[in-house]
Chain A
Amino acid sequence: MALFTQLAEARSRIGYSQEDAANALGVSRAMLSYWESGKRDPNARQLTALAGLYRVALDVLVLGGDLNPDGDVAAMLFRGAGEELPNDAQRGIREWVDFLDRYAELARAASFDVRGMKQSPFTLTPGFEGAEDARRKAEEVRAHLRLGLGPIGDLDSVCDLLGITVFRAGLGEDLTTTISGAFFNHPEIGFSLLVNLDMTPGRRRFTIAHELAHALFHAPTDRYVLSLARKDPREKFADTFAGEFLMPSEGIRRVMEEHRIGPRIDDAADVIHLQRYFRVSYVTALVRLRRARILSHAHYDEFKGVRPVVLARSLGYEIDDEEYGTNHDAWRIQRFPQRFLRLLRSAVLRDVISVPTAANLTGLSIDEVAELVSEGDAVGELADEAEIREFEETGVPS
Chain B
Amino acid sequence: MSPPDATPAVVDTVILRYFYVVDQAELLFALLGEPLLAPRVVFDPDEEAKIPERAMSEITRSIFVQRMRSNDRRRDESERALAASHAARLDQVAADQAAGRIEVADLTSSETEIFAKLGSRGDPLDVGLTFALDPGEAACVAVAVERKLVLATDDSDGLKAYRALRPKGRYERIRKLLKRAGESGLVQPAEANAIHQAMCDARFWDKGRPFPNS
Residues of A within 8 A of B (CB): 24-27, 43-49, 51-53, 57-63, 105-106, 109, 329-330, 348, 351-357, 359-361, 365-368, 370-371, 373-374, 377-381
Contacts and interface: CB of A to CB of B under 8 A. Distances in A.
B14 interface: yes
Contacts, number: 159
A359 B134 contact: yes
Given A45-B41, A365-B65, A371-B203, A360 B131 contact: yes
B34 interface: no
A370 B201 contact: no
Interface bin, chain B: 35 or more
A43 B43 CA distance: 12
B91 interface: no
Given A25-B54, A27-B48, A58 B68 contact: no
Nearest to A370: B203
A62 B116 contact: yes
B29 interface: no
A25 B52 contact: yes
B135 interface: yes
A296 to B, nearest CB: 42
Contacts of B134: 354, 356-357, 359-360, 366
Given A105-B131, A366-B17, A368-B65, A353 B157 contact: yes
Contacts of A348: 205
A57 B205 CA distance: 28
B55 A366 contact: no
Given A44-B39, A360-B135, A58 B203 contact: no
Given A26-B52, A49-B54, A62-B112, A109 B158 contact: no
B121 A46 contact: no
A373 B200 CA distance: 12
Main secondary structure of the interface of A (DSSP, over half): helix
A366 B78 contact: no
Interface string B42-60: 0010011011101111100
B106 to A, nearest CB: 6
Contacts of A357: 131-134, 137, 155, 157
A378 B201 contact: yes
A106 B107 CA distance: 30
Given A45-B41, A367-B62, A355 B55 contact: no
Nearest to A52: B54
Given A53-B54, A105-B131, A356-B14, A367 B44 contact: no
Nearest to B132: A360
Nearest to B137: A356
Contact of A374 (B39, B138, B203): B203
Interface in B117-157: 117, 119-121, 124, 130-139, 155-157
Contacts of A365: 58, 61-62, 64-65
A78 to B, nearest CB: 21
Contacts of B26: none
Contacts of A63: 113, 116-117
Nearest to A348: B205
Contacts of B133: 356-357, 360
Contact of B205 (A45, A373, A379): A373
A279 B13 CA distance: 43
B3 to A, nearest CB: 24
Contacts of B157: 353-354, 356-357
Given A26-B51, A356-B157, A44 B13 contact: no
